[in-house]
């Protein structure tokens, strides 16, 4: 068959890419066209996304695609992180610069929400893990701090939906990302209007929710002329990057579901795929979340602070003139003594500290542990703590589903961290299969290809991912030492009270 080209716009917390997927009917080969930096921008005591700058970079990537592939491009789709959003006026004006989820304005918003709606009722309506970064608490902070903007909002769009609006003019929200808001009822697969009204939030601004793989429009005429592309289809893939990453898990056991996924990057998202959202008192007690997936599935998972710990340690080291790359930091961690210092990655200390190493030291002092001092000790502490956290989360998933996990698929940028992969296999006492690094963009591109009729099912998508990827296996090692350490690790939270 004639080669088809699909374009994936993939935005993460640290960087963004425009990638071409070259489809030959059997495999999807990737070609990176444009890569650019991303991150929060401090302004006037707030933290925002450089939304216009991101759009400018995306246009540059599309222009490069137009020059290289011209009329050979079939469609384009966007995926990004969850929870953050943009608001549009009636005429389509962007109302303010969208906030970064690490902005401090949501601190204390749980109390504001629970004063209006009990915690149990919010969970019953949404099935979502309680995190103050969720869109619901961002909206409550906006109602408190800038009610005039909320009053002027005609349309609420998640970040990938806003970029799809820039591409096509469509004002819709894609299902997988909408379910990260804590504003969607997973049983009804619709906005939780009753909850939103009880929270004092306007409901008229929430647009139609569309399923992943929906063709939402064509490239704007002006944008086609600017980039040299035809008026190609704009497809909403699984626009939440984890939704696309889970679609890109290279498992051939979709029906059996004896596997878990770990989307490993700035955040770690560890979960399993289920047919229906699981909304029970025990899920609420364990603070798990139900997020939408492809083909009507749900992702029962836990959000865990991930390689953010390592990224911010490296940032602190570089600021002091110690310019290590990530590979060098892993080498230093290998040489550091095991299980010397441990932290709870999800402690609020680590959400957005001024100095991550200092925050880690503070935690260790408060829990009576040896305090990390060297670069290798800090990184080993972070990686061991993540692996032990994963083990506890896996226990919770198996309890909730009644299904034993035989293999953990680690996908995303963190799948390149061989030390963390090995720690995960050992702490969880499970086989780990690592890769692909580009699961998110593969999932994005293959959902687009399916929207064109090239593939018929999620199982076929995963079969293509397997055929298109190089994978690595990690077997458990030193299991007894990791098992013994789990008891000490579990006690850390109790010691902090």
Catalytic residues: 241
Q: Which residues pair with 155 in a beta bridge?
A: 88
Whether residue 106 contacts residue 138, with contact meaning beta carbons closer than 8 Å, is answered with yes
Q: What CA–CA distance (Å, rounded) separates 80 from 303?
A: 16
Please list, residue by residue across 223-260, b when 16 or more beta carbons sit within 10 angstroms of its beta carbon and e when fewer do: bbeebbbeebbbbbbbbbbbbbbbbbbbbeebeebebb
Q: What CA–CA distance (Å, rounded) separates 314 from 311?
A: 5
- Residue 335 in 3-state DSSP? helix
Q: What CA–CA distance (Å, rounded) separates 313 from 323?
A: 11
What is each CA distance from 103 to 138, 143, 156, 279, 428, in whole angstroms?
A: 9, 15, 19, 29, 33
Look at the block and give the residue holding tokens 């190493």: 357
Q: What CA–CA distance (Å, rounded) separates 273 from 290?
A: 10
- Residue 283 in 3-state DSSP? helix
Q: What CA–CA distance (Å, rounded) separates 407 from 264?
A: 15
Whether residue 454 contacts residue 235, with contact meaning beta carbons closer than 8 Å, is answered with no
Residue 88: Cβ within 10 Å count? 20
Residue 392: Cβ within 10 Å count? 17
Q: What CA–CA distance (Å, rounded) separates 375 from 324?
A: 9
Please measure the distance between the N-terminal and C-terminal CA atoms of the chain and give it in whole angstroms.
62
Q: What CA–CA distance (Å, rounded) separates 51 from 391?
A: 37
């Amino acid at each position: 068959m004639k080669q088809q080209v699909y374009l994936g716009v993939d935005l993460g917390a640290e960087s963004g890419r425009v990638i071409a997927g070259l489809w030959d009917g059997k495999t999807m080969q990737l070609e990176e066209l444009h890569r650019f930096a991303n991150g929060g921008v401090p302004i006037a005591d707030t933290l925002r996304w450089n939304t216009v700058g991101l759009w400018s970079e995306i246009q540059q990537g599309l222009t490069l695609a137009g020059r290289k592939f011209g009329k050979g491009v079939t469609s384009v789709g966007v995926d990004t992180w969850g929870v953050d959003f943009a608001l549009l006026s009636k005429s389509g004006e962007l109302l303010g610069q969208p906030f970064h989820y690490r902005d401090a304005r949501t601190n204390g918003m749980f109390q504001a929400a629970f004063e209006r709606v009990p915690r149990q009722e919010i969970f019953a309506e949404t099935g979502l893990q309680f995190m103050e970064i969720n869109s619901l608490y961002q909206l409550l902070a906006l109602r408190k701090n800038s009610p005039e903007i909320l009053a002027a909002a005609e349309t609420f769009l998640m970040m990938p939906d806003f970029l799809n609006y820039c591409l096509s003019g469509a004002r819709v929200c894609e299902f997988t990302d909408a379910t990260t808001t804590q504003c969607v009822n997973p049983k009804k697969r619709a906005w939780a209007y009753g909850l939103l009204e009880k929270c004092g939030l306007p409901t008229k601004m929430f647009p139609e929710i569309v399923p992943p793989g929906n063709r939402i429009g064509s490239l704007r005429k002006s944008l086609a002329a600017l980039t040299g592309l035809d008026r190609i289809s704009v497809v909403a893939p699984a626009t939440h990057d984890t939704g696309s990453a889970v679609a890109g898990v290279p498992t051939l056991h979709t029906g059996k579901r004896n596997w878990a996924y770990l989307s490993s990057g700035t955040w770690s998202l560890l979960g399993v795929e289920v047919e229906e959202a699981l909304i029970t008192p025990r899920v609420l007690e364990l603070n798990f979340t139900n997020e939408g997936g492809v083909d009507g599935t749900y992702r029962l998972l836990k959000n865990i602070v991930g390689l953010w710990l390592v990224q911010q340690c490296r940032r602190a080291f570089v600021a002091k003139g110690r310019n290590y790359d990530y590979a060098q930091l892993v080498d230093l961690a290998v040489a550091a003594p095991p299980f010397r210092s441990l932290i709870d990655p999800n402690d609020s200390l680590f959400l957005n500290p001024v100095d991550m190493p200092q925050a880690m030291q503070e935690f260790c002092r408060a829990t009576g542990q040896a305090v990390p001092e060297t670069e290798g000790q800090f990184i080993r502490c972070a990686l061991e703590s993540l692996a032990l956290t994963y083990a506890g989360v896996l226990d919770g998933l198996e309890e909730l589903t009644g299904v034993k996990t035989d293999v953990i698929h680690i996908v995303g940028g963190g799948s390149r961290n061989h030390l963390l992969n090995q720690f995960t296999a050992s702490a969880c006492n499970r086989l780990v299969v690592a890769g692909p690094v580009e699961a998110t963009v593969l999932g994005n591109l293959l959902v687009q290809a399916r929207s064109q009729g090239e593939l018929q099912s999620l199982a076929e998508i995963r079969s293509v991912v397997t055929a298109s990827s190089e994978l690595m296996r990690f077997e458990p090692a030193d299991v007894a030492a990791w098992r013994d350490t789990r008891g000490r690790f579990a006690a850390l939270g109790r010691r902090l009270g």
